[in-house]
């Protein structure tokens, strides 16, 4: 087999909704060149195919699927219209109603006619009407059953065909007609029921508009500058050239100047030089106009205007957020009553909404524990039922003959009837569909709250979480660090300490680093160039700047680096500062410590409320993990009610502690937002990346919360518990009904049409029960995303 990475294809198959159909597809595609693996998504009726790129033959796969009775359409790739291929799985109710099966409608008319004839005493004519109804409703079933038999597999179509033929042979024509009618419309009724869940998921991944109003940067600047500098054409050309290169910013100041220059032109060009383009053509740096009431087409930064933006579709916030110049906005969010000018900051393929689509795709491929149990059960259920039916039809009469009973011949037809009814109960579809519809509805509701879960396994696991480890900076706090004051030692000055620190921290994305750089710029300090930059994760950075070797980081890091603390006149660690919530960044130049920058963070306003809610939901242990010193960490812990604190941790320390906690509390959730948290996120039972987490954290996490509101974690735990409850209800109901009908059939109290009606009824019941999760109540009772 080739070692090259596989190519993944998705085929929409409307007739695949059960493990039985998937088994047939596996048998039918067995031996097809290029296929490495197959997986099924029953709710969306999709076949996931992993192909060898050196032997890809999509046409051959589609042809083979048609041959075995499963017409398929390949899902379009990125950039193709979703309506061109395979979009039929997301039908509206009216489309489903119009596609009602004609044989089922004819069968309903024939059965109604037969019932009226029976009431009038025309029993033979009524029987003939029922027989015709059985043939009309059952011919497609029989055709599918024959294809399954050719593949040496007894699926539900084959079992129903055998049962109907047996009933007709025994003269139970009305029984055969009613059973075939109910079975022929069961899938259609299920499509109506599950359509809502599929549309809920589709609404989450179709938030981004297809067209954007783009403002050409060069045109906008030329236009504005012709008005402003008409007397000096050379000056206008210089300004135009300056804005022309703004799409490739060299620094934040340059970007700011570019935005201001462009806005002068934009004020004069609204409605004139705007071009409507497909969102796939957008690039980072493009300027877009978003009119009132329109959805934002790409992630970006506001460069002009202020408005209220409804972010419910992405973050789950029910209250619109006020945005001004400099604020970040997400694709798919709904603009309010004012126009906005935004600069695209992220490629469309990497936007938050695109990431949501990938998470939804990943979630379908990751199966919950209950789903895996049901699939294993289904593989053994049908063969066991067939074996039981054969035993009742053949071995029971033979046993009666062996006992010397004279009535064995007259009882033989009765045992055959019981066996035929038992065969009808052999389809596990109601059981199989009960789990994915519940999981998908739970995932959809979580996404509507701004929680994107990478699979049903993690949503189900959230129900059992009893311990939570949480990072401090950026998670319990807002990570809105600010320099409170600068302590200087020896002959150093505050400006020199800030300048040296900003020169090195300018290359870091850590919240402390950003605060130091911001403080230096606020003082209008010139940030010097550096050489030989080295980063030591979780400890500090080193480089050569202002003619000296500079070390910036924690006190521990400077001590290990051999820096001289002789000039330091600080309060002893045993007698901490009154303001314990301040973090410290130490600065050394030329081997001697020259300053200490004190920074203060702000506690998240909902942190304490969130932790109280976690405890109400069964969390018995809450642990803070932080790289800060103990006095700072304890000050925050006391405010939010956390008793267990571990401080001054490196990334590997966090991972080690997480492993220790998992050893005593296996159902642990880890919450973090930074690169330093990624190893711990991957170690915990569930890793939750919160807020504007780093790419590394997003990859390591099992759940992503776009909002930094810690109450979302409570929503996750609540939805997990509700999802688990519905799963147990659905699986339990399916098994109870199946075994009840099986018992009644064994003792001769159930008829064939009763067995089919019970199967259809329990299918609709478990689907309806799963759909309740789309209205599941969460703590903040946020409204749903319109579907």
Residue-wise pLDDT for 270-283, tens only, equals 444 788 898 888 99
Print burial letters for 241-261: b (CB count within 10 Å at least 16), e (below 16). Answer: ebbeebbebeeeeebeebbeb
* CA dist., res. 505 & res. 518, Å (int): 10
End position of a domain, from candidates 306, 332, 354:
354
Number of structural domains in the chain: 3
Write the burial class of residue 137 (CB in 10 Å: 0-12 exposed, 13-18 middle, 19+ buried): buried
pLDDT at 85 over 70: no
pLDDT at 258: 42
Half-sphere exposure for 403 (CA within 13 Å, toward CB) = 11
Which segment, 93-102, 206-215, 310-319, 484-493, is predicted with the most confidence on average?
484-493
The residues, any chain, with a CB within 8 Å of residue 586's CB and separated by 6 or more, are 552, 553, 554, 555, 557, 558, 563, 593, 595, 596, 597
Beta strand 275-278 with 328-329 is: unpaired
pLDDT at 268 over 50: no
Q: Are 13 and 85 in contact (CB under 8 A)?
A: no
Query: Which residue among the candidates 155, 172, 471, 601 is catalytic per the annotation?
Result: 471
* CA dist., res. 78 & res. 227, Å (int): 42
pLDDT band at residue 615 using 50, 70 and 90 as cut-offs: very high
Residue-wise pLDDT for 383-441, tens only, equals 888 889 888 888 888 887 777 776 666 778 888 888 888 988 887 777 877 887 888 88
Lowest mean pLDDT among 116-130, 580-594, 707-721: 580-594
Is 583 in a helix, a strand, or coil? Answer: strand
Task: Flag whether 229 is in a domain.
Answer: yes
* CA dist., res. 748 & res. 750, Å (int): 6
Residue 119: how many other CB atoms lie within 10 Å: 9
Q: Are 287 and 262 in contact (CB under 8 A)?
A: yes
Show the tokens assigned to 545. Answer: 């700047």
Is 281 in a helix, a strand, or coil? Answer: helix
Residue 67: how many other CB atoms lie within 10 Å: 10
pLDDT at 448 over 90: no
* CA dist., res. 363 & res. 370, Å (int): 15
End position of a domain, from candidates 337, 354, 371:
354
Mean pLDDT of the chain: 79
Q: What is the CATH number of the domain that holds 11?
A: 3.30.70.100
Which segment, 305-319, 571-585, 760-774, is predicted with the most confidence on average?
760-774
Task: Flag whether 23 is in a domain.
Answer: yes
pLDDT at 313 over 70: no
The domain in which residue 520 lies consists of: 482-600
Lowest mean pLDDT among 403-417, 464-478, 752-766: 403-417
Q: Are 70 and 21 in contact (CB under 8 A)?
A: yes
Closest C-alpha to 325, from 305, 310, 311:
305
Mean pLDDT of 441-467: 88
Name the CA dihedral angle for 206, 72, 372, 4, rounded to a multiple of 10 degrees.
-90
Task: Flag whether 106 is in a domain.
Answer: no
Q: What is the CATH number of the domain that holds 314?
A: 2.70.150.10
465: which DSSP letter? -
Residue-wise pLDDT for 409-424, tens only, equals 677 888 888 888 898 8
Same-domain pairing of 216 and 348: yes
Half-sphere exposure for 427 (CA within 13 Å, toward CB) = 30
Q: What is the CATH number of the domain that holds 496?
A: 3.40.1110.10
Closest C-alpha to 780, from 356, 316, 135, 322:
316
The residues, any chain, with a CB within 8 Å of residue 348's CB and separated by 6 or more, are 208, 279, 280, 282, 297, 298, 331, 354
Q: Are 409 and 741 in contact (CB under 8 A)?
A: no
Q: Is the dihedral of CA 676, 682, 686, 687 positive or negative?
A: positive
pLDDT at 317: 66
DSSP string, 608-658: HHHHHHHHHTT--EEEEE-SS-HHHHHHHHHHHT--EEE-S--HHHHHHHH
Task: Flag whether 664 is in a domain.
Answer: no
Beta strand 46-51 with 211-215 is: unpaired
Task: Flag whether 184 is in a domain.
Answer: no
Task: Flag whether 303 is in a domain.
Answer: yes
Phi/psi of residue 449, nearest 5 degrees:
-95, 10
pLDDT at 102: 76
Half-sphere exposure for 294 (CA within 13 Å, toward CB) = 17
* CA dist., res. 748 & res. 742, Å (int): 10
Beta strand 340-344 with 451-453 is: unpaired
Q: Are 126 and 117 in contact (CB under 8 A)?
A: yes
Lowest mean pLDDT among 72-76, 85-89, 553-557, 696-700: 85-89
Write the burial class of residue 206 (CB in 10 Å: 0-12 exposed, 13-18 middle, 19+ buried): middle
* CA dist., res. 211 & res. 202, Å (int): 19
pLDDT at 267: 41
The structure's pTM equals: 0.68
381: which DSSP letter? H
pLDDT at 660 over 70: yes
pLDDT at 692: 66
* Bridge partners of residue 488, in order along the sequence: 595
Task: Flag whether 64 is in a domain.
Answer: yes
End position of a domain, from candidates 90, 106, 139:
90
Query: Could you tell me where the beta strands, DSSP code E, fall in 29-121?
Result: 35-41, 46-51, 73-74
User: Catalytic site residue 247?
Assistant: no
DSSP string, 228-262: HSTT-HHHHHHHHHHHHTTTS-SSHHHHHHHHHHH
Task: Flag whether 529 is in a domain.
Answer: yes
pLDDT at 98: 44
pLDDT at 755 over 80: yes
Q: Are 513 and 501 in contact (CB under 8 A)?
A: no
Radius of gyration of the chain (CA): 33
pLDDT at 121: 85
Is 785 in a helix, a strand, or coil? Answer: coil
Q: How far is CA 630 from the centre of its chain?
A: 36
* CA dist., res. 691 & res. 679, Å (int): 18
Is 305 in a helix, a strand, or coil? Answer: coil
Helix, strand and coil percent figures for the chain, each rounded to 5 = 50, 15, 30
Residue-wise pLDDT for 144-174, tens only, equals 888 888 887 777 778 888 888 888 888 888 8
Mean pLDDT of 343-360: 76
Q: Is the dihedral of CA 237, 243, 249, 253 positive or negative?
A: positive
DSSP string, 146-198: HHHHHTT---HHHHHHHHHHHHHHTT-HHHHHHHHHHHHHHHHHHHHHHHHHH
pLDDT at 726 over 70: yes
* CA dist., res. 114 & res. 111, Å (int): 5
**Residue pointed to by tokens 């009524």:** 126
Q: Are 550 and 534 in contact (CB under 8 A)?
A: no
Closest C-alpha to 198, from 209, 190, 210:
190
């Amino acid at each position: 087999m080739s070692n090259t990475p596989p190519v993944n294809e998705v085929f929409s198959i409307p007739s695949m909704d059960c493990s039985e159909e998937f088994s047939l597809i596996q048998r039918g595609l067995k031996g097809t060149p290029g296929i490495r693996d197959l997986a099924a998504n029953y709710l969306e009726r999709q076949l996931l195919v992993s192909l060898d790129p050196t032997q890809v033959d999509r046409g051959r796969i589609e042809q083979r699927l048609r041959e075995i009775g499963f017409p398929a359409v390949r899902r379009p790739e990125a950039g193709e219209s979703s309506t061109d291929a395979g979009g039929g799985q997301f039908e509206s109710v009216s489309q489903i109603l119009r596609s009602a099966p004609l044989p089922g409608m004819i069968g309903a008319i024939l059965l109604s006619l037969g019932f009226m004839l029976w009431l009038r005493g025309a029993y033979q004519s009524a029987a003939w009407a029922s027989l015709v109804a059985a043939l009309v409703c059952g011919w497609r079933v029989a055709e599918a059953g024959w294809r399954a038999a050719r593949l040496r597999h007894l699926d539900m179509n084959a079992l129903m065909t055998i049962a109907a033929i047996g009933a007709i042979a025994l003269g139970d024509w009305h029984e055969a007609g009613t059973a075939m009618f109910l079975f022929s419309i069961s899938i259609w009724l299920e499509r109506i029921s599950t359509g809502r869940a599929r549309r809920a998921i589709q609404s989450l991944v179709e938030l981004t508009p297809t067209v954007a109003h783009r403002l050409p940067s060069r045109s906008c600047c030329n236009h504005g500058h012709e008005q402003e500098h008409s007397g000096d054409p050379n000056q206008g050309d210089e300004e135009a050239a300056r804005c022309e290169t703004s799409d490739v910013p060299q620094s934040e100041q340059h970007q700011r100047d570019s935005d201001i220059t462009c806005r002068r032109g934009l004020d004069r060009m609204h409605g004139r030089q705007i071009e409507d383009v497909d969102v796939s053509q957008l690039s980072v740096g493009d300027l877009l106009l978003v009119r009132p009431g329109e959805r934002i087409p790409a992630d970006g930064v506001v460069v002009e205007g202020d408005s209220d933006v409804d972010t419910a579709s992405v973050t789950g916030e029910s209250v619109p957020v006020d945005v001004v110049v400099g604020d970040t906005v997400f694709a798919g969010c709904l603009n309010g009553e004012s126009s906005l000018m935004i600069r695209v900051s992220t490629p469309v393929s990497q936007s938050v909404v695109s990431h949501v689509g990938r998470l939804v795709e990943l979630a379908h491929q990751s199966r919950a524990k209950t789903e895996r149990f049901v699939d294993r059960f289904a593989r053994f259920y049908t063969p066991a039922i067939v074996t039981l039916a054969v035993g009742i039809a053949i071995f029971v009469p033979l046993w009666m003959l062996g006992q010397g009973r004279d009535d064995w011949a007259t009882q033989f037809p009765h045992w055959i009837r019981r066996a035929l009814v038992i065969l009808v109960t052999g389809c596990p579809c109601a059981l199989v569909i009960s789990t994915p519809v519940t999981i998908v509805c739970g995932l959809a509701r979580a996404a509507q709250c701004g929680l994107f879960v990478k699979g049903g396994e993690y949503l189900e696991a959230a129900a059992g979480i009893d311990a939570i480890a949480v990072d401090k900076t950026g998670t319990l706090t807002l990570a809105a660090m600010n320099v409170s004051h600068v302590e200087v030692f020896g002959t150093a000055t505050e400006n020199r300490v800030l300048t040296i620190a900003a020169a090195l921290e300018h290359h870091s994305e850590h919240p402390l680093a950003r605060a130091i750089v911001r403080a230096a710029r606020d003082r209008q300090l010139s940030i010097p160039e550096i050489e030989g930059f080295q980063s030591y994760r979780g400890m500090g950075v080193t480089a050569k700047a202002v003619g000296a070797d500079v070390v910036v980081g924690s006190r521990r890091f400077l001590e290990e680096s051999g820096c001289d603390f002789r000039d330091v006149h600080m309060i002893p660690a045993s007698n901490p500062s009154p303001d314990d919530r301040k973090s410290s960044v130490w600065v050394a130049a030329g081997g001697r410590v020259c300053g200490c920058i004190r920074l203060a963070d702000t506690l998240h306003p909902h942190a304490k409320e969130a932790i109280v809610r976690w405890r109400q939901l069964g969390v018995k242990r809450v642990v803070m993990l932080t790289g800060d010193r103990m006095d700072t960490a304890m000050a925050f812990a006391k405010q939010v009610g956390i008793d267990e604190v571990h401080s001054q941790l490196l990334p590997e320390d966090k991972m080690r502690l997480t492993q220790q906690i998992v050893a005593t509390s296996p159902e642990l959730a880890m919450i973090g937002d930074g690169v330093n948290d990624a190893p711990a996120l991957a170690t915990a039972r569930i890793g939750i990346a919160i807020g504007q987490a780093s790419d590394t954290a997003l990859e390591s996490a099992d759940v992503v919360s776009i909002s930094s509101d810690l109450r979302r974690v409570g929503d996750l735990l609540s939805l997990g518990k509700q999802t688990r409850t519905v799963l147990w209800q659905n699986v339990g109901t399916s098994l109870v009904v199946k075994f009840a009908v099986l018992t009644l059939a064994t003792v001769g109290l159930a008829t064939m049409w009763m067995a089919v009606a019970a199967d259809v009824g329990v299918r609709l019941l478990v689907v309806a029960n799963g759909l309740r999760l789309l209205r599941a109540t969460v703590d903040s009772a946020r409204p749903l995303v319109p579907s």
